[in-house]
Structure 1
Amino acid sequence: MTRLLESSRPVAPGPSVVPACDGTTRPRLAVVGFGNALRGDRGAGLYVLEALDQAGFGSHVALNHIVGDYRTLISCLYDADAAVIVQAAEACGRPGDVHALDLPRFRTLAAMDHRVPSQPRALAEALTWIEVGHRLPRKLLILFIEPAPTCDGQGPGPSGPVRRGVRRAVDLAANFLERNGADRPAGHVPDRLYAVPWLGIRF
């Protein structure tokens, strides 16, 4: 079962906005997907980005792919009012499980991870440095998709459980974005099947 917890912690500076077609302003939104498409389930973050792009969100939602260097995260979150970070990571669940965390809950999880190296701790450290510079979004959702142990480094394409997890993560990310000001084209129906054409993958 997935739990969704939002962070409402204030942060300086004030919100930044982008102009909409009707002359109003909208918050800046970002999604950052971590993952290597050539490492099986470890490409989950990229698959979520591809699906969100196909879901029809407007151009004011910045979709950013990072292979694995957390130091580049600051440029993706710069001036964003709300953001989603998604990647494949073990968090004591079953393959395909999706863990939806706000920042305090994520930091608790990271502090309890004693593996070396630790993806959660590395991400938590990067977010702390961004927070020190007052560039952390006011609302942040972190999605971890549990990978299958046997589908790491097996080439492009996620395992069956992670395919289902990716679709769940897409739904959670889309709902979060819509609650924070994103919109989709009128009448758009969510796709029943997403694809990564350049990899020949469907999920």
Structure 2
Amino acid sequence: MKKITILGLGDVLQGDRGAACYVLETVANEISGENIHISYLGDNPAFAGGLLYKTDLAIIVGTLSLSGIPGSLHVWNGRVFRQHAAWVAGEDPAIDRLLSALARADLAGGLARKLVFIWIEPENTNGYEISKPVRGAIAMAVRRVRRELLAMELKGGHEQAAMGLAGAEPIQMEA
């Protein structure tokens, strides 16, 4: 059985920065199991190292302003994340804490075999509402998470759940 961890970063009280919460909520409603751990860490992923320890797949979802078009997705693997880690950590203190957690898991010899980072380009980080472009990005991020889960070829009791993901409907949010 493969061990999978899906983590969300952000702040639901800061507009689009809460997008990862909606991504994780949708994924959690579609699939669950003892080998899949889903956790919304908010702005403090300092203890994510324990959640990431000896996982086969770790998916980290959050918002990050990369000067792109609002609502666009930036999907990075572990190598790309490491290349950009220094300057990205300066952009968001939560990412600096995530780097420390990843380093602890690596030091303990248990860093995830495959890391996937899904960054959503925010439009608005004030207020409580998710902007229209980011609502669309939430649906795209959910589809990307499904794709990563299906690629892991889940075995056993999750085989049916994984097959069910292929036909799942995209997230519907009120305008």
Shorter-normalised TM range: 0.7 to 0.9
Mark the runs of 5 or more structure 2 residues left unpaired by the alignment: none
Aligned-partner SS, 2:37: strand
Aligned to 2:2: 27
Match of 2:151 among 175, 179, 185: 179
Change over 3 Å in CA distance of 1:82–1:187 after alignment to 2: closer
Change over 3 Å in CA distance of 1:187–1:31 after alignment to 2: closer
Q: State the alpha-carbon separation in 1 of the partners of residues 136 and 32 from structure 2.
A: 21
Aligned to 2:78: 103
Query: Structure 1, residues 58-88: CA drift from partner, whole Å, max 9, x if none?
Result: 4432111101112121122123111100101
Change over 3 Å in CA distance of 1:202–1:79 after alignment to 2: farther
Aligned-partner SS, 2:70: coil
- TM-score computed with the length of structure 2 as normaliser: 0.83
Higher helix share: 2
Mark the runs of 5 or more structure 1 residues left unpaired by the alignment: 1-25, 195-200
Identity %: 27
Aligned to 2:29: 54
Please tell me the residue identity of whatever aligns with 1:180.
M
Contact 2:17 2:62 in 1 (8 A): yes
Aligned to 2:169: 191
Aligned-partner SS, 1:165: helix
Match runs of 1:20-169 below 5 Å: 26-113=1-88, 115=90, 119-148=94-123, 151-155=124-128, 157-169=129-141
Aligned-partner SS, 1:27: coil
Change over 3 Å in CA distance of 1:95–1:128 after alignment to 2: same
Structure 1 or 2, whichever has the larger Rg, is 1
Q: State the alpha-carbon separation in 1 of the partners of residues 27 and 133 from structure 2.
A: 19
Please tell me the residue identity of whatever aligns with 2:106.
E
Q: State the alpha-carbon separation in 1 of the partners of residues 4 and 21 from structure 2.
A: 17
For the aligned residue pairs, the C-alpha RMSD in angstroms reads 2.3
Deviation at 1:125, TM superposition (A): 3.7
Aligned length: 169
Change over 3 Å in CA distance of 1:146–1:59 after alignment to 2: same
Contact 1:58 1:184 in 2 (8 A): no
